[in-house]
Chains A and B, each alone.
Chain A
């Protein structure tokens, strides 16, 4: 009996805390988003489909897809270069760099990109000397600029996610394929990529979610200039825009659905990855 009591002393604070600050806030949003003046309704979601929020959704999706795709693609190639590198020192240095860079984000990163690719930024000046004028066609304060800044943390995250699967690719498989007469292209298409596919897909969905919910980088770099879902929700939280709260809650629930779908997809592919590994 005494032991049972101790079990609950260990679990209860955790459960109470999670209930109070994780479950109940989400349920509050859910309930409010589904409640109108006359009771339960989907009206708030219908009203959420204004041109502004639709643009915000499209922008957020575009940004997340583009940086998840670009980050995963570039990250996979870099990860392969790291994994197949013959120097252990190089492998460790690059893994450490990816680990550290994946943690950079938010305001300092946004600011670093202003210094680098702003109108008088270092790379802008450098390209100017080489005869390439970035401005005024390109602006770091635009959605394209934001995409480049997001790639800064998306790429190392993708590297860290794809690397374990690449380490699992056995050299013997390639040798076997070559003995059987396969070309490099055939080896990649028929052997390596099918094995890597779950890891690459899992990485894509996780970094997609990572970009979709990101706010600090966008806010520091562009303020409210680029219309994104997190920017919209934050504006509603701060009370910058006068709107009914239920509408903000509907937006929050919609973005939660996107995030949940991504993480379910991630879990699904991560599980398949474990099975093939």
Chain B
């Protein structure tokens, strides 16, 4: 039985690993190949494409734009989600199913549909939203709501908040002090996990960036798509960078999150495709 199960397991895992790694490895090789379209192996190796693509000012600009948008979205998300989750959990248990529902809805909202809705709603209103980074950040906070809310609520539910609050209050802390000095440190793992999920989702997001502000604030994925149409070799360097960034953030999530949080992450379809 054991020898038999080994024989089927090896090819299954082999096919899976090959399917997951060959496209990435091929992209990596392509980005350092002098020429690779006639022979099975690259004809020569060079770092030219990497140097070329990284020396452009647009490269640094788009990386910084993406970084800035991701950080801002993460901060806004923290500011609106953490206090809401906290008060719902500690004082308004009746509100929890509603918050839960509101933070799950974005899963059923394809990026194109959200973009269409935002444009329809705000194009006529005299607010500084349409065609500004503000609308993009708002959209990012919404689509990453499931990640942030779940991560924060999971840790809140695993901590005895009532005991902590009572202990802090008996020592004379006011509610804000309780939140900042007692609750936040105790749910830090969930906050970090949620923040990393937001960062990785926003960093690789293309749909909303493309439809909501397009070229006004070029993000890294938009820059990459432009290159796939003009210069495949430099695009492959960008694509690999994008994989590596996603990879680093995913590993950071795996490290910070315990097993339960890992499962939660699995529950969530990922944005940006």
A100 and B37 within 8 A (CB): no
At the interface with chain B, which of A37-45, A187-195, A206-214? A206-214
The answer, yes or no, to whether B139 is at the interface (CB within 8 Å) is yes
Knowing A107-B224, A115-B30, say if A99 contacts B265 (CB, 8 Å): yes
At the interface with chain A, which of B45-53, B59-67, B78-86, B185-193? B78-86
The answer, yes or no, to whether B225 is at the interface (CB within 8 Å) is yes
The answer, yes or no, to whether B228 is at the interface (CB within 8 Å) is yes
Closest residue of chain B to A217 (Cβ to Cβ) is B273
Give the distance to chain B from A17, nearest Cβ to Cβ, in Å. 5
Which residues of A from 37 to 91 have beta carbons under 8 Å from B?
Answer: 74, 77-78, 81-82, 84-85, 90
Give the number of A-B contacts (CB < 8 Å): 287
Knowing A108-B242, A153-B273, say if A11 contacts B110 (CB, 8 Å): no
The residue that B91 contacts in the complex, of A7, A123, A233, with Cβ under 8 A, is A7
The answer, yes or no, to whether A134 is at the interface (CB within 8 Å) is no
The answer, yes or no, to whether A197 is at the interface (CB within 8 Å) is no
B238 proximity list for chain A (CB < 8 A): 108
Q: Which of B114, B119, B269 has the most CB of A within 10 A?
A: B269
A108 proximity list for chain B (CB < 8 A): 27, 204, 221, 224, 238-240, 242-243, 246
Pairs A-B, 7 closest by C-beta atoms: A25-B117, A213-B110, A105-B273, A160-B266, A14-B84, A10-B87, A120-B37
Closest residue of chain A to B113 (Cβ to Cβ) is A252
B221 and A115 within 8 A (CB): no
B182 proximity list for chain A (CB < 8 A): none
Chain A interface SS verdict (over half): helix
Chain B interface SS verdict (over half): helix
Knowing A3-B91, A7-B92, A10-B87, say if A216 contacts B110 (CB, 8 Å): no
Knowing A97-B20, A111-B239, A220-B225, say if A82 contacts B13 (CB, 8 Å): yes
Q: How many residues of B contact A (CB 8 A)?
A: 94
User: How far, in whole Å, are A1 and B194 apart by their CA atoms in the complex?
Assistant: 32
Give the distance to chain A from B221, nearest Cβ to Cβ, in Å. 5
A252 and B117 within 8 A (CB): yes
The answer, yes or no, to whether B3 is at the interface (CB within 8 Å) is no
Knowing A81-B9, A106-B204, say if A216 contacts B273 (CB, 8 Å): yes
B 110-151 to A, binary, CB cutoff 8 A, 1 in contact else 0: 111111111111000000000000000011011001000000
Give the distance to chain B from A226, nearest Cβ to Cβ, in Å. 15
B112 and A22 within 8 A (CB): no
User: How far, in whole Å, are A129 and B39 apart by their CA atoms in the complex?
Assistant: 10
